Structure 1
Amino acid sequence: MKFISWNVNGIRACVKKGFVDYFNEVDADFFCIQETKCQDGQIELPFEGYYQYWNYAEKKGYSGTAIFTKHEPLSIKYGVGDQETESEGRIITLEYEKFYLVNVYTPNSKRDLARLSERLEWEDNLLDYLKQLDRIKPVIYCGDLNVAHEEKDLKNAKSNVGNSGFTFEERGKMTNLLQSGFTDSYRHFNPDQDDAFTWWSYMNKVRERNIGWRIDYFIVSNRLVEYVQNTDIHAHILGSDHCPILLELDWK
């Protein structure tokens, strides 16, 4: 079973840069996207054989998530009950017989950290939600989580300490998550990899020189780790300032 997650930084723009070709080529069972930046009716993606679930932000051209899946879910939930963040279209949960799939676009704490306190509250609420789900059945949690957890998850760690996405507070919330029954699937299988990134600034030559951050994740309930067959970062795929990431599970 193949899962893809990709912050497309505007699905309408990404479609013009090869999104459909990659979508068809990768042939995923579940294809999760973040930062769709569109409203209902602004784009049509008639992918045959896929159910589509969209969570639009109320603000035009902002945030938003979507999931394309070959498998009809038992239930669909948008948000976790927090009205402010729910209005930004940041969470979709699909329930299946064996697991929950939670697709998330985590709020950025902003360059001046003006949104850090709200971000930390978001993290607490989301962790409570994930633990509630995990008590029922295993969870696959993916998306742009807007944090580089460890120094090896970004190119210039020392100069970025305290910056948005690499504050001690944000990194601590990720640590709390991973100590609560969840595993960072890519790091589990690549514990020492220090040049694997999923986001690069649009500044000149930054991506070519691989000066990036790993801020996109597939995080799974610990009891799913034994079923993980493959994790990968598709850094060669352009179309956004992020690249797609892959998770493959074999339920047997």
Structure 2
Amino acid sequence: MRVISLSVDGIVQSAQRGLYDWLANQDADLICLQDLRARERDMEKPEYQLEGYFAYFFDSGTKNYNGVAIYTRFQPKALIYGLGFASGVDMEGRYLQVDYEQLSVGSLLAPSATSELESQEVKIKFFDDFQAHLDKITRKRREYIFCGNWAMAHTPRDVSNSAENQHNSGFLPHERQWLSQLYNQLGYVDAFRRVNKDSDEYSWWPKGTKGDGDGWRTDFQVVSNSIGPKVEYAAIYKTQQFSSHMPVIIDYDIELQP
């Protein structure tokens, strides 16, 4: 099973850069897109459809910002819109999930944060609530793949200038600690790092152009512990650039059961 994830910085721009032509030739079973910056009714246009795929979208509801999508070859048994946090902070980002017999795949857009205190607090609250959610679902007899733009990097090898960026949002100590807890305490797995240990693998270029400025790896496919051994191949596609983020491609030894 091949899963592709990409944060698109606006679907209109990415489509104009050839994203859908590229996706049509990737033989992916599931495609998770984030940061669509479009309404669901706009996403129903022919130029945003992929032949042979069911397409599902979750927009911001009011404005042309954020939004996520999942394209899948197999019609799911259920769809879940949002994470249902009591605080409501999950709506500061976006989350869409497709459920199959024993597997759930989610497309996640985490809230980003600047140096402003309020936005930092929103991001912290989001990930605290998300951690509680992930802890709860580990007790279910179900496997999970969470694809998305997590808006933070984990270790120094995930940021090209880690020493200079250690005080910047996305690489702050509490953000790195959150990811460490996710992997070391809750038992989830960074699917990319399961098979790819290279230190120069970056999925996001904040200045917009690959190779211009610092590179960050902030786009992950985080999977249940039981899926970790099933990761066969992982790569960040760098030949074409559809946004400031690069597509993350993971192959799993999983046969999807509709």
Q: Shorter-normalised TM-score: what interval?
A: over 0.9
Question: Residues 216-227 of structure 1 correspond to what in structure 2 (within 5 A)?
Answer: 216-227=219-230
TM-score, normalisation: structure 2? 0.90
Code of the residue aligned with 2:110 in structure 1: it is: T
The 8 Å contact of residues 139 and 220 in structure 1, kept in 2 or not, is answered as: yes
Question: Residues 1-252 of structure 1 correspond to what in structure 2 (within 5 A)?
Answer: 1-43=1-43, 44=45, 45-82=48-85, 84-88=88-92, 90-136=94-140, 137-179=142-184, 180-191=186-197, 193-202=198-207, 207-208=210-211, 211-251=214-254
Seq. identity, %: 29
User: Per-residue displacement from partner, 1:65-85 (whole Å, max 9, x unpaired)?
Assistant: 010001111111111113644
In 1, Cα distance between equivalents of 2:122 and 2:212: 33
Structure 1 stretch 231-240 or stretch 212-221: which is displaced more?
Answer: 231-240
Query: Compared with structure 1, are the counterparts of its residues 29 and 210 closer, same or farther at alpha carbon in structure 2 (3 Å cutoff)?
Result: farther
Q: CA deviation at 1:86?
A: 4.5
Matched position secondary structure for 1:199: coil
User: Per-residue displacement from partner, 1:85-128 (whole Å, max 9, x unpaired)?
Assistant: 45446101111112111210111122435412221111121122
In 2, Cα distance between equivalents of 1:160 and 1:89: 23
Matched position secondary structure for 1:213: coil
Query: Compared with structure 1, are the counterparts of its residues 113 and 146 closer, same or farther at alpha carbon in structure 2 (3 Å cutoff)?
Result: farther
In 2, Cα distance between equivalents of 1:36 and 1:111: 24
Structure 1 stretch 180-189 or stretch 106-115: which is displaced more?
Answer: 106-115
Q: Which runs of 5+ in 2 are unaligned?
A: none
Structure 1 stretch 25-34 or stretch 86-95: which is displaced more?
Answer: 86-95
In 2, Cα distance between equivalents of 1:10 and 1:120: 25
Q: Which runs of 5+ in 1 are unaligned?
A: none
User: Per-residue displacement from partner, 1:15-65 (whole Å, max 9, x unpaired)?
Assistant: 111111111111211000000000122242232221111110134221110
The 8 Å contact of residues 210 and 241 in structure 2, kept in 1 or not, is answered as: no
User: Per-residue displacement from partner, 1:118-157 (whole Å, max 9, x unpaired)?
Assistant: 2111112112222333322111111000111001101111
Code of the residue aligned with 2:108 in structure 1: it is: V
Matched position secondary structure for 1:200: coil
In 2, Cα distance between equivalents of 1:157 and 1:118: 24
Query: Compared with structure 1, are the counterparts of its residues 126 and 155 closer, same or farther at alpha carbon in structure 2 (3 Å cutoff)?
Result: same
The 8 Å contact of residues 90 and 126 in structure 2, kept in 1 or not, is answered as: no
Aligned length: 249
TM-score, normalisation: structure 1? 0.92
Matched position secondary structure for 2:105: strand
User: Per-residue displacement from partner, 1:186-216 (whole Å, max 9, x unpaired)?
Assistant: 122223x21100001236xx62357300000
